[in-house]
Structure 1
Amino acid sequence: MAESINHHVVAIPYPGRGHINPMMNLCKLIALRRPSDFLITFIVTEEWLGYIECEPKPPNIQFATIPNVIPSEVNRAADFPGFVKATQTKMEHPVEQLLHRMGVPISVLLYDTYFTWVLGIGNRMNIPVASLFTMSATVFSMMYHYHLLVENGHVGENFSGNTEEIVDYIPGVPPIRVADLVTGFNGKSKETTSIALDAILMSAKAQFLIFVSVYELEAEVIDALKSTLSIPVYAIGPSIPYFSLNDVQNDENTPDYIKWLDRQPEGSVLYISQGSFLSEIRMIYSVGASM
C-alpha cells in the first residue's frame, strides 16, 4: 500500500463523540473522493477503539491507538476539568511516538483545534497541520475575540451581570444578547474556558483552518475570519454521515420531510451530535433573532 499512496493523512481527534464523529466523517469524505491516492490513519485511545472499530468505514482508513493515558469515558463527567487537562498533558508523548513508528510518510496532521500540542509535533517532524474546529464559525469568532468581550464588561471579572445587553462588535457576527453567548464564558464551564481560548488563538499557527460549517449560513463571520487570519480558512459544510435516499421506502408512516428529501436526486440525513455544527445551529438562530 505504501508504494501506491500519494497522500497519508493522520487524524487526531479530541476524545469525545461530538469531536470524533465530525473528524471521522470528514476522513470518510476524503477517503471516498480519491480512494487510490489517500491513506488515512485515525488515532484514538484503546478505549475509544473499542467504541468505534465496528463502525463502517472505507478500506483506506485505518485505526492506530495509544494507551489509555486519560480518564475513562465511563466516569469522566465526575471531573470534567481534570479530563480536559489530561487530554492536554498526557496524550502528546504517546501520539508523537506513534507517528515516528509509522511506515508511510505523513502528508498532513489533521487535528482537533483543542489539541494545540499537535502544532509542536508538526514543527518538530516538519509536517503541515490542519486544524478542524467542530463547532460553528460564530462560536470560534466569539472565542477568538474574547478580549473584546472582556473590554466591554460582558465576560470576565468585570462582567456587568446584565445579560440583556447587546454584543454588536464581534467582526462578522450580527448583534447578540449577552445571555446567548457561549455558555462557558459566564457559566459553569469557566474552569476550562482558558484552555479553549488558548486553543482558538493557537489555531492561527496551523497551516489550514477548517470549519464544519455551511458558508452560506455564516458567510459574514467566515469572511471576517479570512481577512483576519493569515492562513487559509475553509468551510466544508456539516461533516455528517449520509446515504442515498433511494434506500428509504416511503409509506404512510414516513414523515413528510423524508418524503420531500426522497424526491431529491441525492439526499442526506442530518446526524446531531454534541459539539457538531448542528448542535451549534441554535447559536446562529439566536444571533438572527436578536438583529
Structure 2
Amino acid sequence: MTITFVHLESVHHKLSKASHKADPFSDARESGLDIRYATISDAFPLDHDRDLHREKYWTTLLQIFPSYVDEFVRKLIRSDPQSLHFLVADTVYVWPTAIARKYNLINVSFFTSPAHVFSLLYHLDLLKERGHFLRKDDAVDIDYVPGVGSMRIRDLMASLSKRSDITGNTLFKAFEEVKKADFILHNTVEELESDTLSALNKYQPNYAVGPINLSEASSVAVSRSLHAEVDITKWLGSKPAGSVLYVSFGSVVQTSKEVIGEIAHGLRLSEVNFIWVARAHLTSSGDSNVLPDGFVEEVGDRGLIVPWCDQISVLSNPAVGVFFDALWVEFGGREHVVRRSDDLFPSDLRSADGQEVGGW
C-alpha cells in the first residue's frame, strides 16, 4: 500500500519551522512504510495572516481551493492509473464527494473529534424538524439525536447558533456532503462511544480508528506541531500529583479578550497550579497581549503561561489533574462561559464522576 499524505503549503511551512524537518515522514519511510509527502497551495501566499483574516480565508477554501485539489488528484491518478485509489479527507471539507466521483475514487471521510459531536452535526435535520435549530432556549432538552444522550440547547456547539458565520456555513455544507461518503473513520475508541457509532452505522459504515496518537514508536515518529514547543517538564516535576490544571484551546479556536479575562479571573480565584497555552492569535482581534495587566505577576510560580507545548506529554504527566479545553468555550458559546466564570474553578474541583481532583 502506498500513501500520499498532502499538507497545505502554509501548514507545511509551520511544521518544518517548528521541527526543523522538511519531511515529517522521513523516519516512517526509513522504517519501511511507503508514505509519500506532498504539499498543495491554499491560494494564499505563505505570509498571509490566515488567523487574522479568517472569514476571507475560509471563503476561499470553499470557493477556490477545490480546483487546486482537483488538479493535484488528476495528476496523481494519471501517474498510476492501474491502482485502486482511496481519497481520505477531513470531514470539514466540502469538496471530497465531487472529486471522488469525478475520478472514481473510494470516498473516505475522517472525523478527528468525538463521534458524539459528529452525530450532533450529522443530525442537524432533526434539530430543524423539532424547531430547535438556532434556538437559544436554555430550558429545552434535546433527547432525540441518535447515539447522543439528553442535553440542553445551550450546550450545543456555538457554531450552530451562527448560521451566517463562515465556519458554521462550512460545517452545514460539509455534513450534507459526508452523507455521500463510502465510509467514515473516527478518531475515537469503540468501547468509549459504542452507542453513538452503532446509531451512525444504521446510515453508513463508521469505524473507530483512534486514538491515533496514543503512542508511537520512535522509529516512525511524525512531526506534527505547528509551533515551537516549550519544555515544561521541570516545572511540572515541581508540582504534586494531580494538582495542575491544563488550559489550552488548541491550534484553531479563537475567543474574545473578554473571555480570556474571565478565565484569568477564575484562575486567580481558584488558587490552583495551572499551565495556560496562550498561543498567537488566540483572540479574533489579533492582539498579541491578551492577558490582564498584572496577571502573570499575581499568580507567580503556581501558573505557567507558554505559547505552545507538547500536549500529549503534558496530559501524560502525573502532575496534571484537569484539562480545560476549547469545548468549554465552543459548547454554549461566549455568554455561557462568561456567566459562569466565577465558579469555573471552585476550590473543591471535581471530576466528571464526582471524585475530588488533586485535593482541590
* Common fold: TM-score over 0.5: yes
Question: Structure 1: where are the runs of 5+ without partners?
Answer: 1-37, 258-267, 273-277
2:181 pairs, out of 191, 206, 224, with 206
Matched residue, 2:11: 48
Deviations 1:79-131 (A, max 9, x none): 32322221122222222222222334462111111223121111111111100
Whether the 8 Å contact between 2:9 and 2:46 is mirrored in structure 1 is: no
Of 213, 236, 252, the match for 1:240? 213
2:46 pairs with 1:83 = no
Q: Which amino acid aligns with 2:157?
A: V
**Contact residue 44 and residue 66 of structure 1 kept, 8 A:** yes
RMSD of aligned C-alpha atoms? 3.6
1:126 and 2:104 matched: yes
Deviation at 1:163, TM superposition (A): 1.6
Contact 1:113 1:200 in 2 (8 A): yes
Match of 2:118 among 132, 136, 140: 140
Distance 1:219 1:128 in 2: 25
Would you say 1:196 and 2:171 are equivalent positions? yes
Alignment of 1:29-48 (within 5 A): 38-48=1-11
Q: Which moved more, 1:203-212 or 1:53-62?
A: 53-62
Task: Indicate how the Cα distance of structure 1 residues 185 and 270 shifts in structure 2: closer, same or farther if over 3 A, else same.
Answer: farther
Whether the 8 Å contact between 2:58 and 2:166 is mirrored in structure 1 is no
Alignment of 1:255-266 (within 5 A): none
Per the alignment, residue 8 of structure 1 pairs with none
1:177 aligns with 2:140: no
Q: CA deviation at 1:173?
A: 0.6
1:24 — aligned with what? none
User: May I ask how many residue pairs the two structures share in their alignment?
Assistant: 227
* Contact map agreement 2:42 2:61 (CA 8 A) in 1: no
Say yes or no: does 1:117 pair with 2:111: no
Asked whether the 8 Å contact 1:184–1:190 carries over to 2, the reply is: yes
**Identical positions, percent:** 26
Distance 1:111 1:255, change over 3 A: farther
Give the residue type in structure 2 aligned to 1:234. Y
Would the alpha carbon gap of residues 125 and 279 (structure 1) be closer, same or farther in structure 2, given more than 3 Å must change? farther
* Structure-2 change in CA distance of 1:85 and 1:111 (3 Å): same
Find the residue that maps to 1:214 and give its secondary structure.
coil
Q: 1:222 aligns with which of 162, 176, 197?
A: 197
TM value normalised by structure 1: 0.66
- Would the aligned equivalents of 1:122 and 1:129 in 2 still touch at CA under 8 Å? yes
User: Greater share of helix residues, 1 or 2?
Assistant: 1
Q: Which residue of 2 aligns with 1:19?
A: none
Matched residue type, 1:195 = T
Report the Cα distance in structure 2 between the residues aligned to 1:71 and 1:180, rounded to whole angstroms.
Answer: 38
| 1:48 positional shift | 2.1
Task: Mark the CA change 1:145 to 1:51 in structure 2 (over 3 Å): closer, same or farther.
Answer: same
Answer yes or no: is the 8 Å Cα contact 1:70–1:87 preserved in 2: no
